[in-house]
A and B are shown apart, each in its own frame.
Chain A
Amino acid sequence: MSRTASESDPLVRVENLRKYYNNDSGLLGGLTMDSEFPFVRRESSYVKAVENVNFDIHKGETLGLVGESGCGKSTLARTVLRLLDATDGSIYFKGTDLTELDGEELRRTRKDMQMIFQDPQSSLDPRMKVGPIVEEPMKAHGMLDPEGREARAKELLEKVGLDPQHYNRYPHAFSGGQRQRVNLARALSVNPDFIVCDEPVSALDVSIQAQVLNTMQELQDEFNLTYLFIAHDLSVIRHISDRVAVMYLGQVVELADKEELFENPQHPYTQALLDAIPAPDPRATDRRTVLRGDVPSPINPPSGCRFRTRCQKLIQPEAYDLAEDEWRRVVEFQRAVKRRNFEEREPSAVRSRFLDDVDLRGEAGRIVTDAIDHIAADRFDEAEALLTESFADQSICAKKEPMYEVAPELAGDRHVVACHLHRED
């Protein structure tokens, strides 16, 4: 199954792609109320939905894109198809930069790129019959005559596993899985090379999911299609992809061949994500480690590595000389202060809960003691600022954006990982 990079140029190449949303559009956008004079402020801010994304997709391959909700997967997909305009960067499709096309040229290129959406209900016009729905893109691109289009629509319906007799039915007469098949037929009608699938099976029942996934794979083999397949379900991604890109907060943090990524994950986020999936097996005893906290806001993302605020492997600043487990405890303590996660505020209780009664040496110990005193006096803001400035913000993870390449161990020929653990000293 694995189709590794061919010698030819990639079908799609995305370079330094950025997409920002302006957060202060509208009459009252960007206004914030203050308790002090002048009471109202107007601030410009951007939601940095996609930041510096690079990848290639080769002909006939499936690139899986996985990440938690809100990490920018759909925005990325839409930007790649130029349904949204990129803020910066380039998207090359068959060697042409899509960001520089407009008008008629762009419209004609779109014939070769199609999209399948998540919700099979709202992506089909309820007042159109299925046949005309499938014919619509052909009409838009001036393909064939009316009889030819009808014949092709029927042929495609059959190809995706529906009965050609259903040509005259309305979408409501179909179940979710069948509607997604209609979407597939519509996408295929203009004979595209590249299909972006945005969570195409996540709204379907598991047994139906499997049917649709199998059909998609058969069609890929038959028409030599290239998929960009977005999903939040790692099992589905593992099943359908050749290579996988993992996204976190607008950035690709790891990109590798499927086997390599699942069996030899290098980024702590990928590892956490893989640990989080429950296996359908009651005897799987290895208790999964749970990723704490929520995804930070993309309006003001953490500096450096965006995952560092939740990372289990945050790198110790060079200024300190703590043992590994001491450093982990300090990090846990800092994050707990940030979450205000305290029932007991008494210094000795705090010390025993978070630091296991270990006395930290030197500078680090002094800072922690100060922070504990702040907490006892209910000055959480001071404690948080002190800990964050002295520990979290001093780490290399906060100072520099990571981007490294490691040698793949299992499969594929590139393994990109954005984590400072792989830096060369």
Chain B
Amino acid sequence: MTTPLLTVDNLKTQFFTEDGTVRAVDGISFDVYPGEIVGLVGESGAGKSVATSSILRLVDSPGEIVDGTITFKEKTLFGLEAGPDGEPRPSEEMLTEEEMRKEVRGREIAIIFQDPMESLNPVFTVGGQLREFIELNRDLPTEEAKQEAIDMLREVGIPDPENRYDEYPHQFSGGMRQRVLIAMAIACRPDLIIADEPTTALDVTVEGQILELVAELQEKYDTAFIWVTHDMSVVAEICDRVNVMYLGEIIEQAHVDDLFYNTKHPYTQALLNSIPRPDETIEELDPIKGVMPEAINPPSGCRFHSRCPEAREVCQRVHPEPRDLSANDRPHNAACVKYDVFDVGYDASPPLETDATGGFSAGLTQTESEAEADGGDR
């Protein structure tokens, strides 16, 4: 294989709140190779969005990246080294804020957000915003940038782009606005686009159009994508490789086909079992029991053990790091001690009383600060 475009190694992002430290992203590692679509999947609060903002160093106070390295095309987006007094400090190679802003964001790594209305300024015309972006990032004169903007709008399928150029965001439908953001993202021909739930707010028919457009553009420009979503159907449709996140950690990492047909981690399995199918009628759904615990005080051992149907006593004690369990030549990492390679005595360990085995009430007693955790995680 070629060298990865982006390498995230042991990334940790934490939020320092009054109630304690929220470990929103807790030691995740993954690669993105040129031209592939990598999925980042999980329920809300899993840390997906924090992970992507960390890559662009857009985490705001009280959040902070506390450990790990992020390398993009031999540039260090984030890295630490030991200072004179042993305290970690940003390493020499790490890009400055200005370099990040001028060279990386928008130019080399673009991002598309979930809500297209919030990403466009309602008091400027759509065309004007796109033109300004192209003007600044590609150093084109205004007239040329305008022509380029119109061409981009046409390319992403906006009808009658010459006239729509002068319209305001509210005059566009949700799908059209998302197309504008895609135009903005590809305008500088970045090598990597981070798409943070770009189709979640859209209808299925529009979602279909957008996914088709992305596939076309990807083929044309060979852009790599990090696709953040909670929708397994979208993952199945467009991703090449998938990272499944639970409570700040990547618990399974596999090629999309292996993930669906040779699922290793019980969480991924439970997630797949819980979704209603459009293509068949299912009498009763099999939901994941309980609710996701708080990232302030995650469960000991395996973080999923409190909701896992296969949890045993050892799962409370041992915290598994993902290991390659692949039977073929494609790596397939999962973090679950039920596999023999972990060798921690899972088979001999007694089964555990959890939400999945006990009643529903177990997960419902510790709700007091959940609302805050929800809010803090965004």
Contact = CB atoms under 8 A, between A and B. Distances in A.
Interface of A: 1, 68-69, 161-163, 166, 169, 172-178, 205-211, 213-214, 217, 232-236, 238-239, 258-259, 262, 272-274, 276-284, 288, 290-292, 294-295, 338-341, 343
A35 to B, nearest CB: 15
Interface stretch (B26-34, B173-181, B189-197, B346-354): B173-181
A208 B261 contact: no
A276 B276 contact: no
B167 to A, nearest CB: 14
Nearest to B364: A163
Contact of A206 (B207, B230, B291, B374): B230
Contacts of A238: 276-278, 281
**Majority-rule SS of B interface residues:** helix
Contacts of B286: 210
B276 A290 contact: no
Q: Which 6 A-B pairs have the closest CB atoms?
A: A210-B287, A339-B159, A207-B288, A340-B160, A210-B285, A278-B233
B212 A280 contact: no
A339 B163 CA distance: 11
B237 interface: yes
Contact of A290 (B212, B270, B287, B289): B212
A276 B285 contact: no
A141 B291 CA distance: 35
Residue picked from B163, B208, B212, most chain A C-beta under 10 Å: B208
Residue picked from A1, A288, A343, most chain B C-beta under 10 Å: A288
22 contacts: A68-B204, A163-B361, A163-B365, A175-B374, A178-B291, A178-B364, A178-B367, A206-B274, A207-B43, A207-B288, A214-B284, A235-B277, A273-B205, A276-B204, A277-B204, A278-B211, A282-B256, A282-B261, A284-B236, A290-B208, A290-B212, A294-B176
A161 B360 contact: yes
Contacts of B161: 340
Contacts of A278: 207-208, 211, 233-234, 236-237
B283 interface: yes
Contacts of A234: 204, 278
Contacts of B207: 276, 278
Given A206-B271, A210-B286, A294-B176, A281 B236 contact: yes
Contacts of B206: 68
Interface in B243-288: 256-257, 259-261, 270-272, 274-279, 281-288
A254 to B, nearest CB: 15
B44 A205 contact: yes
Nearest to B283: A1
Contacts of B277: 235, 238, 279-280
A175 B236 contact: no
Contacts, number: 164
Contact of A280 (B208, B211, B236): B236
Contacts of B371: 172-175
Interface of B: 43-44, 154, 157, 159-163, 173-176, 203-209, 211-212, 230-237, 256-257, 259-261, 270-272, 274-279, 281-289, 291, 360-361, 364-365, 367-368, 370-371, 374
Contacts of B159: 338-341
A205 B236 contact: no
A280 B232 contact: yes
B237 A235 contact: no
A53 to B, nearest CB: 20
A276 B237 CA distance: 11
Contact of B270 (A173, A207, A213, A340): A207
A349 B236 CA distance: 37
Nearest to A293: B159
Given A236-B276, A238-B281, A239-B281, A279 B233 contact: yes
A280 B260 contact: yes
Contact of B205 (A68, A174, A214, A282): A68
Contacts of B271: 206-207
B272 A280 contact: yes
A151 to B, nearest CB: 19
B287 A279 contact: no
Contact of A207 (B176, B284, B287, B365): B287
Contacts of B365: 163
Contacts of A173: 367-368, 370-371
Contacts of A274: 278
B205 A291 contact: yes
Contacts of A339: 159-160
A210 B289 CA distance: 10
A338 B287 CA distance: 46
Contact of A291 (B209, B231, B284): B209
A214 B174 CA distance: 31
A121 to B, nearest CB: 9
Contact of B209 (A213, A262, A290, A295): A290
Given A206-B230, A206-B271, A290-B208, A279 B278 contact: yes
Nearest to A287: B212
Contacts of B274: 206-207, 209-210
Contacts of B360: 161
Given A68-B205, A278-B234, A290-B205, A262 B281 contact: yes
Contacts of A1: 283
A341 B235 CA distance: 30
A91 to B, nearest CB: 27
A205 B289 CA distance: 13
Contacts of A209: 274, 276, 287
Given A166-B367, A292-B209, 15 more contacts: A175-B367, A178-B364, A210-B285, A232-B203, A232-B204, A238-B278, A273-B205, A278-B208, A278-B237, A279-B233, A280-B277, A283-B257, A290-B212, A295-B173, A339-B159
